[in-house]
Amino acid sequence: MQTAIAPQELRPTVMEVDLSALTHNLQCIRAHVGAAKIMAVVKANAYGHGLAECARQLAADGADYLGVALVEEGIELRRAGITKSILVFGGIWGGQIAHYLDYDLDITASSADKLHAIDETAAASGRRARVHLKIDTGLGRIGVQWDRLSPFADAVLAARNCDIIGVFSHFATADEADQTFAREQLRRFHETLDYLRSRGITWQYAHTANSAAILTLPEATFDMVRPGLILYGVAPGTHLQNVLPLRAAMTLKSKVVYFKVIHAGQGISYGQHFHAEHDTRIATVPVGYGDGYFRRLSGRGEVLIRGSRHPIVGNVCMDQMMVDIGPGGTAYNGDEVVLIGAQDKETITVAELAETLETTPHEILTSTNLRVPRVYL
């Protein structure tokens, strides 16, 4: 007979997600963009926060649309009971089109061939496809090149079984201080819309603003905006931290599970890269790179215990890591350890970790893997 395991018997490492922060951030964005619709971007497990839970909250809070990257993410949302319009950003692949139709998902048409395939599948099944035309204005990922639109426009006019819901593009550099290229992409997008209009093509929503553009380029608002990062309370760059009063939704935390005193000269962890300069106190925390925490923070990162910062010493292991509390410090088994987020008056921000690790805040948010349970507040 197997008995149920109580939460307090499990490893004390969790990601806490404050759903009220999503509500607050959506309201901030709403106030900032005025009448434009908001497509809440929940791809990649809602930037690590949990796809269905976040989507349900954002839908209840009045997000107009949801955006995901993969058709399977859209299907998961439908199976979770979400009835809002959902756009899948990714290019279609293989036999996916029928699934879009089955689950009432908006499809990204990123080439004339793909649009043709969407139209044929819709015709064969006697249904209408909801399509957003993807224009590449400079990111160079997917989409029809903004300066080669004519054959695509022909395909749009021939697609009798498609409803053209949107026309969209995506910025490459809106998070940078220099807005020159973002403005050039915006100019190309305007040129695209003018051309498509001149061909008699109509749509409901032109949309191109990601989080960074929402904060820096009000001219890029159009009919709808597509915030991801800022919905979760994280600014796309340190220079953009105070544009909106956002609240971080994620806290990654654990507990001290082992505590010891080591003597000067003693080494810590694989490779023995840390040797104590003096007698000191070391806490062990049960979280590691096997959870998606960053091994590159070995000897560089900090965590919060009892409201102060303490350095990670030695290599981060797969499942555990060690923290130097200092010769006079105190910590007890069971003390809370915050790896991302706030404790008392101190905070380890996603932006700070992104800077230390020379990456984007997006990568920090999506790194914690599913071994870490999500707990919703």
User: Contact region for ligand PLP (CB under 6 A) — 1-9, 224-232, 251-259, 311-319?
Assistant: 224-232
Distance between CA 26 and CA 20 in Å, rounded?
A: 10
* 255 neighbors 261 (Cβ within 8 angstroms): no
3-state helix, strand, coil split of the chain in percent (to 5) is 35, 25, 40
Q: Residue 88 or 149: which CB sits closer to ligand PLP?
A: 88
Q: Residue 227 or 286: which CB sits closer to ligand PLP?
A: 227
Helices and strands (DSSP H and E) totals, the chain = 11, 21
Q: Which residue is nearest to ligand PLP (CB)?
A: 228
Q: Residue 233 or 292: which CB sits closer to ligand PLP?
A: 233
**Binding flags for ligand PLP, 21-60, as an x/- string (CB under 6 A):** --------------------x-x-----------------
- Residue 257, φ and ψ in degrees, nearest 5: -115, -5
> What is the SS3 assignment for 250?
strand
Distance between CA 28 and CA 48 in Å, rounded?
A: 21
Query: Looking at the annotation, which residues are catalytic?
Result: 43, 270
Using rule CB under 6 A, residue 89 touches ligand PLP: yes
CB atoms within 10 A of CB 94: 5
Sign of the Cα pseudo-torsion (61, 63, 68, 74, in order): positive
In whole angstroms, the minimum distance from the beta carbon of 1 to ligand PLP comes to 47
Applying CB under 6 A, among 114, 130, 170, 188 the residue interacting with ligand PLP is: 170
In whole angstroms, the minimum distance from the beta carbon of 135 to ligand PLP comes to 11
**Binding flags for ligand PLP, 178-217, as an x/- string (CB under 6 A):** --------------------------------xxx-----
Among 333, 224, 247, 315, residue whose Cα is nearest residue 275: 315
In whole angstroms, the minimum distance from the beta carbon of 225 to ligand PLP comes to 9
Using rule CB under 6 A, residue 229 touches ligand PLP: yes
Using rule CB under 6 A, residue 227 touches ligand PLP: yes
Q: Give the DSSP H or E segment for 101.
A: helix 97-102
Using rule CB under 6 A, residue 226 touches ligand PLP: yes
DSSP assignments along 181-245, one per residue: HHHHHHHHHHHHHHHHHHTT---SEEEEE-HHHHHH-GGG-TTEE--SGGGGT--SSGGGTTSS-
In whole angstroms, the minimum distance from the beta carbon of 89 to ligand PLP comes to 4
Q: How many residues bind ligand PLP, per CB under 6 A? A: 13
In whole angstroms, the minimum distance from the beta carbon of 296 to ligand PLP comes to 22
Q: Residue 13 or 110: which CB sits closer to ligand PLP?
A: 110
In whole angstroms, the minimum distance from the beta carbon of 66 to ligand PLP comes to 12
Structure tokens at 303: 């965590």
Which residues of this chain interact with ligand PLP, rule CB under 6 A? 41, 43, 89, 170, 210-212, 226-229, 236, 362
